Amino acid sequence: MTKSSHPDRVPASRRVAATLRARIESGELAAGALLPSERALAEDFDVARNTAREAVRLLTDEGLVFARHGKGVYVRETRKLMRFGSERYSQRVREETGLSPYRAEVAKQGRTARVDCTSITTVPAPGFVAERLDLASADSVIRRENWYFADDEPVQRGVTFIPVSVAGASPLADSADLGKGSLYARFADQGYPIATIREEISARMPRHEEKERLDIPDGVPVIEVVHTGMDHEGTPFEVTVFTMRADTNGLDYTIPVQA
């Protein structure tokens, strides 16, 4: 047995946290359950109260529990909102439902979607956008910022960049209400039906605004998806950067393997 793995050398707070974590993962402590108080945990595990407090802090940092001021610490809901990459942008789904990809996805999972479009502006193309859209850095793009909710819980932010030449005088350029089929129906109206997507996925810690607006617990990272939409000829016509809470979102892709 190595020095670091000897049970006596593992801090008591980590042992308490491990036991509580196992109870959460097994369902013994279900989502929404109130954790015992620090005093009760200290008595239960025969440790000092500050040790119990540190154990709860470890679980909070992992996003497994959260505190309600004056009420106690509760087990966090672990149900994830899934992003289904293989069918998310399906024309069939869009025509059948009349919904945006996000709204259709949320409805499929039995939840209620809300999308707040907080700004639509014209800006010079950021470098990473210009690169993906084959634009010059001085070219202008329409920047659309949306915040996404499921059952009124904030789950992600999306910032879409559209070449001015693609948006034209359509609602893409200036309207929060994009009508039936939403964003991708309007792209199709402009002669850019989505046929191929590229999604670059990474993880990082949230920035201050993201942490505040998405109500992200301490220690929980975000998933960042840089999405590029292309038409049948492989011409890129939009880039969207999605910033998603890692504890409430999941990604599910079915992708054919090349021969």
Mean pLDDT within 113-120: 97
Where do the CATH 3.40.1410.10 domains begin and end in the chain? Answer: 81-252
Confidence class for position 116, pLDDT limits 50, 70, 90: very high
Specify the pLDDT at position 6: 55
In the chain, the N- to C-terminal Cα span, in Å, equals: 46
Report pLDDT for 3.
42
pLDDT at 10: 85
Under CATH, what is the fold of the domain 7-75? Arc Repressor Mutant, subunit A (1.10.10)
Angle between helices 49-61 and 38-45 (to 10 degrees): 110
Structure tokens at 156: 């992600």
Chain position carrying tokens 């989505």: 194
What pLDDT, on the 0 to 100 scale, is given for residue 2?
Answer: 44
Alpha-carbon 98 to chain mean position: 23
What number of helices (H) and strands (E) belong to the chain?
Answer: 9, 10
- pLDDT of 106 strictly over 70: yes
Q: What is the mean pLDDT of residues 4-27?
A: 84
Contacts of the segment 65-70: beta carbons below 8 A, 24+ positions apart: 65/24, 65/35, 66/217
CATH 1.10.10.10 domain locations along the chain: 7-75
| Second CATH level (architecture) for the domain 81-252 | 3-Layer(aba) Sandwich (3.40)
Interhelix angle 38-45/12-26, rounded to 10 degrees, is: 100
Q: In the predicted model, what is the mean pLDDT of residues 128-136? A: 96
- The pLDDT of residue 1 is 41
Phi, psi torsion values for 132, nearest 5 degrees: -75, -25
Amino acid 7: pLDDT: 54
> What per-residue confidence (pLDDT) applies to 77?
74
The strand pairing partners of 51, in sequence order, are: none
The label of the residue with tokens 């470098």 reads 127
